[in-house]
Amino acid sequence: MNKFWIVFSYTYWTKLKSKSFIITTAIMLGAIILGANLNQIIASFDTDKGPEKILVIDETGQLYEPVKEQFKNMEEKTVLVKVEEKEDKVLEKVEGSEEYPGYLILGLDESGLPEAVYKSKSVADFSTAGNIQAALQSVRGMMAASQLKLSPDQLQLLNSPAPFENIALSDKAKSEEELNQTRGLVYILLFVIYFTVIMYASMVGMEIATEKSSRIMEILISSTSPVQQMFAKILGVAMLGLTQLILMLGTGYFVIRSRLDSLQGGFFDFLGFEYTKTSTIVYAVIFFLLGYLLYATLAAFLGSLASRVEDAQQLMMPIQFLLMIAFFLAMAGLFNPERGFVALTSYIPFFTPMLMFVRIGMLDIPAWEAFLGIAVMLLAIIILGIIGGRIYKGGVLMYGKSNSFKDIKKALQLTKK
Amino acid sequence: MLNIENVTKRFGHFTAVDDLSLQIPEQEMFGLLGANGAGKTTTFRMILGILDETEGHINWNGKPIDYSASREIGYLPEERGLYPKQKVKDQIVYLARLRGMDKKEAEAELVKWLERFNVPEYMNKKVEELSKGNQQKIQFIASVLHKPKLLILDEPFSGLDPVNVELLKNAVQDIRDEGTTIVFSSHRMEHVEELCEKLCILHHGRPVVQGGLREIKSSFGKKNLVIHGDFDMRDLANEPGVIKFQPTAEGVRLQIDGEETAGRLLQIVAGKGFIRKFELEEPSLNDIFIEKVGSRYE
C-alpha cells in the first residue's frame, strides 16, 4: 500500500479510537438530541403547573366579562378570575399563593371609559401585562365607539390595519422574513465552521509538535518524505472532522425528521428550517473543508517549527487571531450581508470560508461568485502547501528554543543544498 | 557498498561536514566516532537522504538513497522517541509498514524480537508504561524489524545497563552476520573496539583518523608502557621519548613514542631494583581519540 495511505489511515484510526474524540462526539450528539427535544422538555416543565390565575376586582360590575373574553384570545396560559373581596384581602391571597401572579382592578374614568390597574409580583412579565392592556384597549375602543354611536361597520373600518408589505426589489434577494429565518441557521453553521476549523487545525499542529517533541519524527522522516507525511496527516484529520460532521448532520437530520411536527415555534422558528436550502448545508461542509485545509497547512508548518508542545501553542496564536477576525467579520456581515466589506473580505483566502458562507447563506449570490471564492481558496491552499511543505521539511529537523518567525528562514535554509 | 564521496555540508556559514569520503563494503560494521557536534548526525542524515549534501555524492550500491530505498534502510536516531500514548504493537507495525513491510509479517517478526529480548509481555503495553531502557529496546526493534540491508545506529548503547548492552551487541552482530551493513556511532570506545573492523573519527566535520582498527593503532606510533616496581621512578618522566608520565599505585604508566624507547627504559630500570611488571601495550582507541580530538572532549 502507498505510504501516503498508511500515514493517512494511521492518523485517522488512532484519532478515531482516542478517548477525547469519542467523548467530544458523544457530547455533541447528545446536545443535538437534547436540542431536538427541547420543546417537549420545556413543555414537560410547564405542564406541572395549572394555568396561572389573575384575580380581578371589577368595580364596575360590567367590564369583567368582555375583558376576560378578549384576554382569552390572546393568552392561553393565564386566565382572569373575578373575585368579590376587598383589595387588601385579594392582596393577601396573591401573596400567599404561587398560583396568582397578580391582581387587576377594573374601573371607569371620568369619561365613562374603562381603565385598569394591574399589580403583579413581577414587573418583568411584560407579555401578560401587555395582553391585558391590549384586551382592555379593545374593550375601551368598543365602548368609545358606542358612545360615539358608530355602527359596527364604521368601527371595523376604524380598526382595520393599514396594509403594509415589504417587497425586495431584486427577486434574488431573500425577503425580510426569510432573512431573519435563515440568519439563525447560518449563525449556528458559522459557529460550527469556526470551532471545527480551529479544533482540527490545531489538532494537526499539535500532533506534529508532539511527534517532534517525542522525537519519533526522525524515524518517520527517514521512512517517508516529510511533505507526503504532512499532507497525509492533514487529510487524515480532515477525514476525522468529516466523520464527526457527518455524524452530527446525520443525527440532526434523523431527529428532525422523526419529530418534524413538534419542532415548530419558539426556538425552531429561529433556526428557520423551512427556508433552509440543502445547498446551504452543502456549502457549509465545503467551506469547513477548505477552511480547515488552509488553516491546517498553516498549523502543520508552524507546528513543525516547535520543539515542544508548549511552543506549538504559542506559534499557533496567529491562526487563532486570523480565525477570530474572520468570525467577527462574519458576525457583522450576518446582519448586513450586502455591505461592501463583506463582499471584499469574502475573497481574502483566510476569511473566505466564513465570509463567503455568510453571503451564500444570507443572499442569493450568483454561483460564479461562490465558485470564485472556492477557487481562491484552492489556489491559496496549493501555494501555502508548497511553501509549508518546504518549511516543514526543515522545521522537523530543528530543535532548540523556537518561538520566533526567524525560524521559518532557518527551516528553509535547512532544506537547501 | 556505501560510498561517501567528498561530501561537504554547510548550513549558511557553518560547515558541519567537511570533505568526508568513506567506503563501507557490504556486511561490514563501521564505527563513526566524534565529539558532540562533530558532524556524525549530519552525516547520518545525509546518508538517509533527509538532508541534501552541499557538495559530493553519497551512493548505496551505485544509487543515491531516496525514499524508494526506504525498505532497505534501518535507522535508530540518537534522540530516542516513540508515541508515548500508543501501544508497542500498533506503532511498531505502523513504522514497519512505512518501511514497506507487510502487516502480518511485521507482527510475526515483532513477536520474535520481543521474545529474544525477554519482554514478550510488552506487545500490548503503552510505551509510556515502559522503563527507559526497555523503550530503547523497542526502538531498536523498530529500526531492524524489516531486515534492512543498511542499518544506521546512532549511539545504540547509550543509557543501557551492561546486561542489555550485551543483549543488543549480540543482536547487532547477528544482524551483521545475516548480511547487513552497519554504520554506528558511539561515545563508548570499548564498544567500537569490540565491534568494528573499520572506523573514522570526525572532528569539526573533518575526518582526522580513518581506516582499519589495527592499522590505526599501529600507525598511531605511541604506545603505553606499564612498569610495576618498588623503587623511585620519578626521573623517568624526564627521559627522551616519554610523552606522558602517570604514577599509579604499583608503579607508573607511561606513554612513549615507540619500541626503541621501551628498550632503553628497560635498561634504565633494570639496575634500580626488582621489576614485577614491564608491559608494552597497544594504544587504546580512547587514547587515540583523546589525542586526535583533544582533551576537551567530555
pLDDT tens digits for B86-120?
Answer: 899 999 999 999 998 999 999 999 999 999 998 89
Percent of chain A having pLDDT more than 70? 87
**In B, what residues contact A, Cβ < 8 A?**
11-12, 45, 48, 50-54, 67, 70, 73, 75, 77, 79-84, 86, 90-91, 94-95, 97-100, 139, 142-143
pLDDT digits (tens, 9 = 90+) for A243-276: 988 888 888 777 777 766 555 555 555 555 555 6
Least Cα separation, residue B86 to chain A (angstroms): 9
Distance set, CA B170 to CA A142, A172, B15, B116 (Å) = 108, 79, 36, 11
- The Cα–Cα gap between B174 and B168 comes to 10
Strand order in the sheet with B242-247: B242-247, B251-256, B223-229, B275-281
Q: Are A316 and A202 in contact (CB under 8 A)?
A: yes
Top pLDDT among A269 and A348 is at A348
- The Cα–Cα gap between B57 and B55 comes to 7
Across the interface, of B11, B48, B79, the residue whose CB is closest to A215 is B79
Residue indicated by cell numbers 433552509: A276
Q: Are A217 and A211 in contact (CB under 8 A)?
A: yes
Side chain identity at residue A115, one-letter code: E
Q: What is the pLDDT of residue B172?
A: 92
Residue B64: count other Cβ atoms within 10 Å of its Cβ: 12
Top pLDDT among A132 and B151 is at B151
B241: burial class by Cβ within 10 Å (0-12, 13-18, 19+)?
A: middle
Q: Are A381 and A294 in contact (CB under 8 A)?
A: yes
Residue-wise over A168-181: b if at least 16 C-beta within 10 A, else e?
eeeeebbeeebbeb
Please check whether residue A19 touches B, CB under 8 A: no
Contacts of B100 in chain A (CB under 8 A): 3
Per-residue confidence at A374, pLDDT binned at 50, 70, 90?
very high
Contacts of B52 in chain A (CB under 8 A): 415-417
Please check whether residue A211 touches B, CB under 8 A: yes
C-alpha cell at B40: 556524525
Please check whether residue A20 touches B, CB under 8 A: no
Top pLDDT among A293 and A184 is at A293
Q: Are A229 and A5 in contact (CB under 8 A)?
A: no
- The Cα–Cα gap between B134 and B141 comes to 11
Contacts of B75 in chain A (CB under 8 A): 218-219, 222
Per-residue pLDDT, averaged over A55-68, amounts to 84
Q: Are B51 and B141 in contact (CB under 8 A)?
A: no
- The Cα–Cα gap between A222 and B45 comes to 8
- The Cα–Cα gap between A21 and A27 comes to 10
Percent of chain A having pLDDT more than 90? 13
Give the residue from A367, A345, A366 showing the smallest Cα distance to A356.
A345
- The Cα–Cα gap between B224 and B253 comes to 7
Least Cα separation, residue A274 to chain B (angstroms): 47
pLDDT digits (tens, 9 = 90+) for B66-75: 888 888 899 9
Q: Establish, for the pair of chains A and B, how many residue pairs have beta carbons separated by less than 8 Å.
A: 69
Residue A404 has pLDDT above 70, yes or no: no
Side chain identity at residue A286, one-letter code: I
Across the interface, of A3, A413, A416, the residue whose CB is closest to B98 is A3
Please check whether residue A3 touches B, CB under 8 A: yes
Q: What is the pLDDT of residue B297?
A: 44
Please check whether residue A276 touches B, CB under 8 A: no
- The Cα–Cα gap between A81 and A71 comes to 11
Q: What is the pLDDT of residue A407?
A: 75
Per-residue confidence at B152, pLDDT binned at 50, 70, 90?
very high
- The Cα–Cα gap between A364 and B252 comes to 97
Check CB contact under 8 Å for A218 and B97: no
Region at A49 (left for phi over 0; alpha for psi -120 to 50; beta for the rest): beta
Question: ipTM score of the complex?
Answer: 0.79
Name the range with the highest mean pLDDT among A147-156, A364-373, B11-20, B145-154: B145-154
Please check whether residue A42 touches B, CB under 8 A: no
Least Cα separation, residue A219 to chain B (angstroms): 7
Distance between the two ends of chain B, CA-based, in angstroms? 33
Check CB contact under 8 Å for A215 and B80: yes
Contacts of A406 in chain B (CB under 8 A): none
Check CB contact under 8 Å for A224 and B98: yes
Strand order in the sheet with A102-108: A78-83, A52-58, A102-108, A114-120
Q: What is the pLDDT of residue A41?
A: 77
Q: B208 by DSSP, 3-state: which?
A: strand
Nearest-Cα residue of chain B relative to residue A14: B86
Check CB contact under 8 Å for B84 and A214: yes
B167: burial class by Cβ within 10 Å (0-12, 13-18, 19+)?
A: middle
Give the residue from B238, B241, B275 showing the smallest Cα distance to B257.
B241
- The Cα–Cα gap between B224 and B209 comes to 19
- The Cα–Cα gap between A351 and A342 comes to 10
Across the interface, of A7, A219, A224, the residue whose CB is closest to B75 is A219
Check CB contact under 8 Å for A413 and B12: yes
Per-residue confidence at A82, pLDDT binned at 50, 70, 90?
confident
| Range with lowest mean pLDDT among A23-27, A256-260, B134-138, B289-293 | A256-260
Per-residue confidence at B296, pLDDT binned at 50, 70, 90?
very low
Nearest-Cα residue of chain B relative to residue A211: B83
DSSP state of A125: -
Give the residue from A337, A81, A301, A103 showing the smallest Cα distance to A207.
A301
To the nearest 10°, the Cα dihedral for A198, A201, A205, A206?
60
Nearest-Cα residue of chain A relative to residue B87: A14
Instruction: Tell me the whole-structure pTM to 2 decimals.
Output: 0.73
Distance set, CA A287 to CA A58, A184, A360, A376, B12 (Å) = 63, 18, 11, 12, 41
Q: What is the pLDDT of residue A313?
A: 84
